[in-house]
Structure 1
Amino acid sequence: MKNLKKEFPVTTNYIHLNTAASGLLSETLLDFRQNHDLDYLVKGSLLKNDQDKFLDGVRKDVGSYFNCDASLVGLVPNFSLGFNAVLEALPKNSKIALLKEDYPSINWPVLSRGFKTCYAIIDENLENNILECVTKEKPDFLCLSLVQYISGIQVNFDFLKELKQAHPNLIIIADGTQYCGVESFNFKESGIDILGASAYKWMNAGYGNGFFLIKNEVASNLKLKTTGFNSVRGAFKEEDDSFIGGLEPGHLDTLAQGSLQASIKLIKRIGQDQITNQIDLLKQKAIEVFSEKKLVDPIISKRAQHSSIFNIKGDQKLFNKLIENNIICSQRGTGIRVSFHYFNSEDDLTKLSRLI
Structure 2
Amino acid sequence: MPSPLSARLQAVIGVSEDWVRDLYPATRDQVYLDVAAVGIVSTRVEAAMAEVLAAHGRRGIGAAAGWGAMIARARALVAALVGGHEDRVAFTQNTSTGLALVANGVDWSAGDNVVVPAGEFPSNFYPWTQLRRRGVELREVPMVDGHADLAAAAALVDDRTRVLAISAVQYSSGYRYDLAPLGELCRARDTLLVVDGTQAAGALTLDADATGIDVLAVSAHKWMLGPLGIGFVALSERAMGRLHPSTAGWLSVERPFDFDHEPQLAGDGRRFESGTENMVGIAGLGATVGIVLELGREAVETLVLDRTAELTELLIAAGLTPTRTSERSHWSGILIATTGDDDAALHRRLLDADVRCSLRGGGIRFAPHYYTTASDIERLAAALPA
Assess same fold via TM > 0.5: yes
The one-letter code of the counterpart of 1:328 is R
Q: Which residue of 2 aligns with 1:323?
A: 351
The one-letter code of the counterpart of 1:248 is E
Q: Which residue of 2 aligns with 1:192?
A: 213
Q: Could you tell me how far 1:289 is from its partner in structure 2? A: 4.0
Please tell me whether the aligned partners of residues 115 and 139 of structure 2 are also in contact (alpha carbons under 8 angstroms). Answer: yes
Please point out which of 32, 56, 65 is paired with 2:81: 65
- After superposition, where does 1:1-356 map in structure 2 within 5 Å? 1=9, 2-3=16-17, 4-90=20-106, 91-93=108-110, 94-114=112-132, 115-124=136-145, 126=147, 129-138=149-158, 139-164=161-186, 167-232=188-253, 239-240=264-265, 244-290=269-315, 293-297=319-323, 300-301=325-326, 304-313=329-338, 314-354=342-382, 355-356=384-385
Q: Distance in 2 between matches of 1:203 and 1:225?
A: 26
Please tell me whether the aligned partners of residues 117 and 143 of structure 2 are also in contact (alpha carbons under 8 angstroms). Answer: yes
Q: Could you tell me how far 1:329 is from its partner in structure 2? A: 1.0
Where 2:34 maps in the other structure, the secondary structure is: coil
Q: Unaligned regions of 5+ residues in structure 1, if any?
A: none
| More displaced stretch, 180-189 vs 95-104 | 180-189
Please tell me whether the aligned partners of residues 176 and 329 of structure 2 are also in contact (alpha carbons under 8 angstroms). Answer: no
| More displaced stretch, 265-274 vs 188-197 | 265-274
Q: Distance in 2 between matches of 1:110 and 1:273?
A: 33
The one-letter code of the counterpart of 1:177 is T
Q: Distance in 1 between matches of 2:237 and 2:50?
A: 37
The one-letter code of the counterpart of 2:230 is N
Where 2:372 maps in the other structure, the secondary structure is: coil
Q: Could you tell me how far 1:350 is from its partner in structure 2? A: 4.2
CA change 1:132–1:316 in 2 (3 A) is closer
Q: Distance in 2 between matches of 1:6 and 1:263?
A: 14
Q: Distance in 2 between matches of 1:171 and 1:164?
A: 6
How big is the alpha-carbon RMSD for the aligned residues of Structure 1 and Structure 2?
Answer: 2.4
CA change 1:222–1:249 in 2 (3 A) is same
Where 1:89 maps in the other structure, the secondary structure is: coil
Where 1:179 maps in the other structure, the secondary structure is: coil
Q: For residues 15-54 of structure 1, what are the alpha-carbon distances to aligned partners after superposition, in whole Å with 9 as ceiling and x for unaligned?
A: 0000001111111112212222221111111112443443
Q: Could you tell me how far 1:136 is from its partner in structure 2? A: 4.0
Q: Unaligned regions of 5+ residues in structure 2, if any?
A: 1-8, 10-15, 257-262
Q: Distance in 1 between matches of 2:82 and 2:118?
A: 28
Where 1:343 maps in the other structure, the secondary structure is: coil
Q: TM-score normalised to the size of structure 1?
A: 0.90
Please tell me whether the aligned partners of residues 181 and 203 of structure 1 are also in contact (alpha carbons under 8 angstroms). Answer: yes
CA change 1:197–1:227 in 2 (3 A) is same
Please tell me whether the aligned partners of residues 196 and 212 of structure 1 are also in contact (alpha carbons under 8 angstroms). Answer: yes
Q: Percent of aligned positions with the same letter in both sequences? A: 21
Q: TM-score normalised to the size of structure 2?
A: 0.83
Where 1:154 maps in the other structure, the secondary structure is: coil
Q: Distance in 2 between matches of 1:332 and 1:282?
A: 19
Q: Which residue of 1 aligns with 2:12?
A: none
**How many residue pairs get matched?**
351
Please tell me whether the aligned partners of residues 33 and 357 of structure 2 are also in contact (alpha carbons under 8 angstroms). Answer: yes
